A and B are shown apart, each in its own frame.
Chain A
Amino acid sequence: MIGSEFVPLSLTPLLIGIFAAVACALPGNFLVLRRQALIGDAISHVVLPGIVVAFLATGVISSWPMMLGAAGAAIVAVVLIEAIRRLGRIEPGAAMGVVFTSMFAGGVLLLELSDTSNVHLDVEHALFGNLESLIWLDATGWASLLDREALLGLPVELPRMAATLLAVAVFILLFWRPLKLSTFDEGFARTLGIRTGLLGLALVIAAAVAAVAAFDAVGSIIVIAMFICPPAAARMMTNRLEHQIAWSVVFATASAIAGYVLAGYGPLWFGGQDAVSAAGMIATVSGVILALAAGFGPCRTRSGAPQGG
């Protein structure tokens, strides 16, 4: 596969897949530890209405308004969930269920009612993405990586996804201590003067930003899988948060590479003609990794604390 075709056809989708997977897995570690794993699920559902509203408002398929719309929808969803949970005294799972299904339904309906026949915007695209199509036509081989002309022809998703990954990583690095502290012991964190409510919201926004950027390239199914599976598998490999994050990055990267390769070349091995969905395959591989970690990971079960002593 490292032939001359690799760079133009596979390098960019592969990189985008890896960046997207890691950008989602990083905040996912904290979401899983905070028992907020399904916030990721909710966010990935409400991205669609956000994008549709942005499209209807601007009338064009353009990246920035859509990113803003999607991020806005994510924030609206989180605020709504919190409001319903508190005001209606409803358990968080149910509050989430009410909000994200309704917003998703609203998005689908808007999409059906508005004329989007001439633009590439549909529910299936939102779910599966189109990772395979993000190719780099200007490239002729590895040498193109040094060719300024060819670099200009890179799919715009690649630098955008790289920037998103960088932003998410910087956020986590910068707020590492308060994030860890408030995830472990929120009450104590507040006595230190940490604004835990704001920090929690910032984490969700970071997750939403990752979700929105990834969504455009790879679809929402990958987003949910990457929020949860690599961090969950990583938790079963180690008992230290620092190492857990490292494992989750490894697992996310491995899922992206293996998933992409399997989707592209797997069917050929079975005599098939066409590739299958890369996004779906990446999610599937992440599930296989999780299953392996759940079956054999060194820290897969709760360490039973001895009583007394």
Chain B
Amino acid sequence: MTVELAASHGRRPEVVVPENSPLTIRGLTVSYGHKPAVFSVDMTVMPGAMTAIIGPNGAGKSTLLKAALGIAKPLSGQVRVFGKPLDRQRARVAYVPQRASVDWDFPTRVIDVVVMGLYRQLGLLGRLRASHRARAMECLDRVGMTDFADRQIGQLSGGQQQRVFLARALAQDADLYLLDEPFAGVDAATEKAIIGVLKSLRAEGRTVVAVHHDLATVRDYFDNVFLINAAKVAEGPVDTTFTAENLQAAYGGRLATAQVDQLAQVLA
């Protein structure tokens, strides 16, 4: 990591972004009310890899992601996307929000939701051409949802809703994918389909960052982990960072005995 001399000059130093890092965060603090949800976090995401953000409930995982996307307003700190402020790089970032964050009763069809991912190409009044439609169908195909294109979104199961959200992000054709709990409350088939898509994104050289809650699958799914509990606990490759010691530090007493046993098996 780049280290400069502490406050060595009076001017504000420019954030030093490690080469090619798709997402660099420095000194980020976000608070709801008067308790920081994320405190003084530094994060350096490695390009072309899959990173899991893990930590106990209420540890600021989603908040970190939202602050990186400019949805949550930070109290202090800097975010750089591919070395530049987010505003100039929005086209290169795709986002999959938590499934529960929207009202699925909204009157619209699956295909319309996927087309929302093309907003930056279409603009305000750009005509929706056959090619756009074909692109949206292609994205639906990647998540195995072509048969549902004309369904009302309220009729989908949780797993299907999650796939539609992923298809919308695919339509964004971004270089950095940020996902908030993509596997929460989905069925096994959907989980398999989603991880397949994420791995294919990685194979294409894109970067994936996901808030993840299932410690048992971290090792199988991800290359890097970022452990957080308000403050950063550890960051690095799964092999060296996803250790019992770091987990204990992140979860403290909150790691249930059952989870510890389960992990002991995984980590063994």
Q: Across the interface, which residues of A come within 8 angstroms of B105, CB to CB?
A: 302-303
User: Given A239-B152, A308-B158, are A174 and B106 also a contact pair (CB < 8 Å)?
Assistant: no
- The answer to whether B107 and A244 touch across the interface, beta carbons within 8 angstroms, is yes
Q: Among A4-12, A178-186, A289-297, which stretch is in contact with chain B?
A: A178-186
- The answer to whether B90 and A193 touch across the interface, beta carbons within 8 angstroms, is yes
User: Given A188-B95, A191-B70, are A174 and B107 also a contact pair (CB < 8 Å)?
Assistant: no
A223 to B140, CA, bound (A): 42
A12 to B125, CA, bound (A): 34
- The answer to whether B90 and A240 touch across the interface, beta carbons within 8 angstroms, is no
A185 to B108, CA, bound (A): 12
User: Given A309-B159, A309-B160, A309-B187, are A191 and B107 also a contact pair (CB < 8 Å)?
Assistant: no
- The answer to whether B152 and A305 touch across the interface, beta carbons within 8 angstroms, is no
Q: Across the interface, which residues of A come within 8 angstroms of B93, CB to CB?
A: 191
User: Given A181-B119, A187-B66, A191-B69, are A308 and B159 also a contact pair (CB < 8 Å)?
Assistant: yes
Q: Across the interface, which residues of B come within 8 angstroms of A194, CB to CB?
A: 119
Q: Across the interface, which residues of A come within 8 angstroms of B125, CB to CB?
A: 174
Query: Smallest CB–CB gap between A202 and chain B, Å?
Result: 13
Judged by a CB distance under 8 angstroms, whether B157 is at the interface is yes
Judged by a CB distance under 8 angstroms, whether B109 is at the interface is yes
Nearest chain B residue, comparing its CB with the CB of A238: B107
Query: Smallest CB–CB gap between B209 and chain A, Å?
Result: 13
Which of A188, A302, A303 contacts B97 (CB under 8 A)? A188
Q: Across the interface, which residues of A come within 8 angstroms of B104, CB to CB?
A: 305
A308 to B156, CA, bound (A): 9
- The answer to whether B155 and A240 touch across the interface, beta carbons within 8 angstroms, is no
A305 to B87, CA, bound (A): 37
Q: Across the interface, which residues of B come within 8 angstroms of A184, CB to CB?
A: 102-103, 106, 108, 113, 116
Q: Across the interface, which residues of B come within 8 angstroms of A240, CB to CB?
A: 107-109, 112, 152
A27 to B155, CA, bound (A): 26
Nearest chain A residue, comparing its CB with the CB of B126: A177
Judged by a CB distance under 8 angstroms, whether B122 is at the interface is yes
Judged by a CB distance under 8 angstroms, whether A156 is at the interface is no
Nearest chain B residue, comparing its CB with the CB of A243: B107
- The answer to whether A305 and B101 touch across the interface, beta carbons within 8 angstroms, is no
Judged by a CB distance under 8 angstroms, whether B120 is at the interface is yes
Which of B70, B101, B156, B157 contacts A185 (CB under 8 A)? B101
Which of B87, B101, B103, B155 contacts A187 (CB under 8 A)? B101
Query: Smallest CB–CB gap between B30 and chain A, Å?
Result: 15
Query: Smallest CB–CB gap between A182 and chain B, Å?
Result: 10
Contact-residue size bin, chain A (C-beta under 8 Å from the other chain): 20 to 34
Q: Across the interface, which residues of B come within 8 angstroms of A183, CB to CB?
A: 106
Nearest chain B residue, comparing its CB with the CB of A194: B119
Judged by a CB distance under 8 angstroms, whether A190 is at the interface is yes
Judged by a CB distance under 8 angstroms, whether B124 is at the interface is yes
Judged by a CB distance under 8 angstroms, whether A241 is at the interface is yes
Residues 178-214 of chain A, each 1 if its beta carbon lies under 8 Å from chain B, else 0: 1011011101101111100000000000000000000
A309 to B161, CA, bound (A): 11
- The answer to whether B107 and A181 touch across the interface, beta carbons within 8 angstroms, is no
Nearest chain B residue, comparing its CB with the CB of A235: B107
Which of A33, A175, A178, A238 contacts B106 (CB under 8 A)? A33
Nearest chain A residue, comparing its CB with the CB of B125: A174
- The answer to whether B116 and A181 touch across the interface, beta carbons within 8 angstroms, is yes
Nearest chain B residue, comparing its CB with the CB of A183: B106
Q: Across the interface, which residues of B come within 8 angstroms of A241, CB to CB?
A: 106-108, 112
Which of B71, B90, B157 contacts A308 (CB under 8 A)? B157
User: Given A178-B124, A192-B120, A302-B105, are A239 and B154 also a contact pair (CB < 8 Å)?
Assistant: yes
Residues 114-151 of chain B, each 1 if its beta carbon lies under 8 Å from chain A, else 0: 00100110101100000000000000000000000000
- The answer to whether B97 and A174 touch across the interface, beta carbons within 8 angstroms, is no
Q: Across the interface, which residues of A come within 8 angstroms of B108, CB to CB?
A: 180, 184, 239-241
Judged by a CB distance under 8 angstroms, whether A306 is at the interface is yes
Q: Across the interface, which residues of B come within 8 angstroms of A185, CB to CB?
A: 97, 101-102, 116
Query: Smallest CB–CB gap between B96 and chain A, Å?
Result: 9
Which B residues form the contact surface with A (CB < 8 A)? 66, 69-71, 87, 90, 93, 95, 97, 101-109, 112-113, 116, 119-120, 122, 124-125, 152, 154-161, 168, 187
Q: A174-B124, A185-B97 are in contact. List 19 more A-B contacts (CB 8 A).
A: A33-B106, A174-B125, A175-B124, A178-B124, A180-B108, A181-B116, A188-B95, A188-B168, A190-B71, A191-B71, A192-B119, A239-B109, A240-B152, A241-B112, A299-B107, A303-B105, A305-B155, A306-B155, A306-B157
A-B contact pairs, 27 of them (CB 8 A): A174-B124, A174-B125, A175-B124, A177-B119, A178-B124, A180-B116, A181-B116, A184-B116, A187-B66, A187-B95, A187-B97, A188-B97, A191-B71, A192-B90, A193-B90, A239-B154, A240-B107, A240-B112, A244-B107, A299-B107, A303-B154, A305-B104, A306-B155, A308-B157, A308-B159, A309-B157, A309-B159
Which A residues form the contact surface with B (CB < 8 A)? 33, 174-175, 177-178, 180-181, 183-185, 187-188, 190-194, 235, 238-241, 243-244, 299, 302-303, 305-309
10 A-B pairs with least C-beta separation:
A239-B152, A303-B154, A191-B95, A309-B157, A193-B90, A185-B102, A184-B106, A191-B69, A241-B107, A239-B107
